[in-house]
Chains A and B, each alone.
Chain A
């Protein structure tokens, strides 16, 4: 069974640009969550989608958005990039509620 796949793995952007990250969950998993990981801050929850609906949302500005498609694939978008958005963005899929999260290897974003 294929794991969680995130693309791209690495990307470099400049301030003010926007970026879209993609996540393909494990087959059969309907929940997809996104986390931002930075040194010293650990993992911070961005949002969770279940069956194309945002079920939970973390405390991030509106520049961070996401969506989920009917095949459970998810994308997150960050607009008007800031230097502080440089981080590893992790996607995780799960079968249901409060279950085990299966993480992808992440997309490492560098903002210059």
Chain B
């Protein structure tokens, strides 16, 4: 069965510091992988996605993620965090037979000045 694990429920980083959010997935075939961000009171916004090809994916707002098949991981990174990055981040895995996605439980990011 497909599943997504985000081991870190909550992360606190200082503004300007680097960030890595972990995501591990369980999926039988080649996965379609996504990272979404949710600000308070808002819907989710796509940060980046991986379908195939280059395993290092660039997204919006300076985020990137690396697909590692051997580790079943798709970790999200940002070299320098801004206060506006404080939000909830969700990793998701999907398939090519529709728009049924499996989301992780999310990682809440706090940015301290």
A-B interaction? yes
In B84-106, the 8 Å CB interface with A consists of: 90, 92, 94-106
B90 touching A43 by the CB < 8 A rule?
yes
Indicate with 1 or 0, residue by residue over B26-38, a CB within 8 angstroms of chain A CB atoms: 0000001010100
The answer to whether the Cβ of A99 comes within 8 Å of any Cβ in the partner chain is yes
The stretch from B10-18, B40-48, B73-81 touching chain A is: B40-48
Give the size category of A's interface with B.
20 to 34
Number of interface residues of B (CB under 8 A): 26
How many CB-defined contacts (below 8 Å) exist between A and B? 72
Contacts of B95 in A (CB 8 A): 98
* Residues on B with beta carbons closer than 8 Å to the beta carbon of A35: 103
- With contacts A45-B100, A56-B97, A90-B44 known, what are 11 further pairs, Cβ within 8 A? A43-B92, A45-B101, A45-B102, A97-B99, A98-B51, A98-B97, A98-B98, A100-B34, A103-B44, A105-B42, A105-B43
